[in-house]
Amino acid sequence: MAITPSKPIFCATHPRACSTAFERVRFPNPMTPVGLFLALLVPPCVSALGHERARNPAGPQKRTRFRVPESFLLGGRETAWREERERGEEPVVLSELPRVFMSRRDKLACVHEPFGDAFYYGPERTGERFENDAEGRAKSGFAETTYADVLRQIEEAGKDKRAFIKDMAYYIIPPNQQKASIVPSAGNTAEPTNPTVLPLSILRKFQWTFLIRHPRRSIPSYYRCTQPPLDAVTGWTNFNPSEAGYEELRRLFDYLIRERIVDEKDLLVVDADDMLDDPEAVIRAYCAHVGLDFTDNMLNWTDEDTKVAQEKFAKWNGWHDDAIGSTSLKPRDKKHTLVWGIFRSMLIPREKKVITRESEEAEWLKKYGEKGLKEIRECVDANVKDYEYLKKFAIQI
């Protein structure tokens, strides 16, 4: 088992992959004062209110350059998936994962999705969403933020505690298969085989883990956040398939293996649906991999933990509401329903909902119309291959 406690843990993911929930899990053991970067790079389509961050132009939160948020620790909580359950959908995983680690403020420093600032708003940006919106970039407070600024923020956060970073892989890889080059602020060196904008020497500083979820779960969730009425909260008014993030996550994954930064025989890929089925087993496995002890309170969160989560997630308004409203992370009910009344203690089998291509398309058509159905279907189908490739490496619980 590759335990490297001297390195920050970077958990890479794509949007809507339940990564925010993962962040809220608490990591109990005292760690040496080094940044533990758990950057989960996942595409925005991995759940209904998950981890794709969206800034609300109506209320941008400006921060001083190099300023590190006050609380970066991780904790654990039960997730109230109320909105999605009412719609008969799966819970949001992306937002709950980060919460697993957020409550451990005495030991860990959680840096929540920092690279999006440089990717979307800064002078080295490669993201398309705000490319023609100079006013929006200026209002964000990050128009001058470079990738070097983000790295300094992470380094500062990890001075006295292990830093935990969850972030999207596509924030460090140019979209639409564009050729990557190392950004000027990080050295501007020539690395022809490197798919990222960060030099290999920087990538070697992290202990990498990965979080994924099936596109049929994440993409509709991401799409919903770009449509009325939720777009008024997130500030994202159009759907961009290039932000799905699966291809970039796979390219990063393969590159790290080729460069032997990640050992193919000892790596960690978590499928969000496995975590929803058995949170404790998955979090225990994750802790073991990165050299941390598991404690029960990683899955149950206090009011103070929720306050910290609200501060962390405020930057991307509307994307993490489910995770903020949750108090714990518990297994979803898959097979049985408890019947109260005369037969109070009886557990009866509950029919599992069978999802087919036809049934999911009928649901998307009802919610989003012909245009929405077409956009979601094309995006889901385009990313299944990359998901299934990464799924082959997922831990088996």
Strand 347-349 and strand 162-168: the pairing is unpaired
Contact 112, 84 (CB under 8 A): no
Question: According to the model, what pLDDT value does residue 313 have?
Answer: 58
Higher pLDDT, 335 or 45: 335
The tens digit of pLDDT for each residue in 4-40 reads 556 898 999 999 887 666 666 644 433 333 334 444 4
C-alpha pair distances (Å), 23 with each of 181, 246, 301, 316: 30, 20, 12, 15
- On the question of pLDDT at 291 being above 80, the answer is yes
- On the question of pLDDT at 115 being above 50, the answer is yes
Q: What is the mean pLDDT of the chain?
A: 77
For residue 225, tell me if it sits in a domain.
yes
Domain count, the chain: 1
**Which residues 6+ apart lie within 8 Å of 157 measured at CB?**
35, 68, 69, 72, 109, 111, 163
Contact 187, 199 (CB under 8 A): yes
Top-ranked range on mean pLDDT: pick from 90-94, 108-112, 328-332, 367-371: 367-371
**Across 70-80, average pLDDT:** 31
**Which residues 6+ apart lie within 8 Å of 201 measured at CB?**
none
- Choose among 282, 283, 281: nearest CA to 75: 283
Helices (H) and strands (E) in the chain, counts: 14, 8
Across 297-321, b (16+ Cβ under 10 Å) vs e yields bbbbbeeebbebbeebbebbbbbbb
For residue 375, tell me if it sits in a domain.
no
Contact 24, 98 (CB under 8 A): yes
For residue 339, tell me if it sits in a domain.
no
Residue 5, judged by CB atoms within 10 A of its CB (0-12, 13-18, 19+), counts as middle
Question: According to the model, what pLDDT value does residue 295 have?
Answer: 80
Question: According to the model, what pLDDT value does residue 319 have?
Answer: 53
Across 77-88, b (16+ Cβ under 10 Å) vs e yields bebbbebbeeee
Higher pLDDT, 313 or 150: 150
DSSP per-residue string spanning 141-163: T-TT--HHHHHHHHHHHTSSSEE
- On the question of pLDDT at 89 being above 90, the answer is no
Confidence of residue 340 (pLDDT cuts 50, 70, 90): very low
The tens digit of pLDDT for each residue in 151-166 reads 999 999 999 888 889 9
**Across 313-331, average pLDDT:** 63
Domain range enclosing 289: 9-334+383-391
For residue 372, tell me if it sits in a domain.
no
Higher pLDDT, 183 or 69: 183
Question: According to the model, what pLDDT value does residue 352 have?
Answer: 58
Contact 225, 285 (CB under 8 A): no
Higher pLDDT, 286 or 99: 286
**Which residues 6+ apart lie within 8 Å of 172 measured at CB?**
41, 115, 119, 147, 196, 197, 198, 252
Question: According to the model, what pLDDT value does residue 33 have?
Answer: 36
For residue 24, tell me if it sits in a domain.
yes
Tell me how many degrees the CA angle 171-396-19 measures, rounded to the nearest 5. 30
Tell me how many degrees the CA angle 376-97-183 measures, rounded to the nearest 5. 75
The tens digit of pLDDT for each residue in 117-146 reads 999 999 999 999 999 999 999 999 999 999
**Dihedral class, residue 242 (left if φ above 0, else alpha if ψ from -120 to 50, else beta):** alpha
Higher pLDDT, 88 or 378: 378
Residue 90 carries which side chain, given as an amino acid letter?
Answer: E
For residue 373, tell me if it sits in a domain.
no
Separation of first and last alpha carbons in the chain: 16
d(CA 185, CA 144): 12
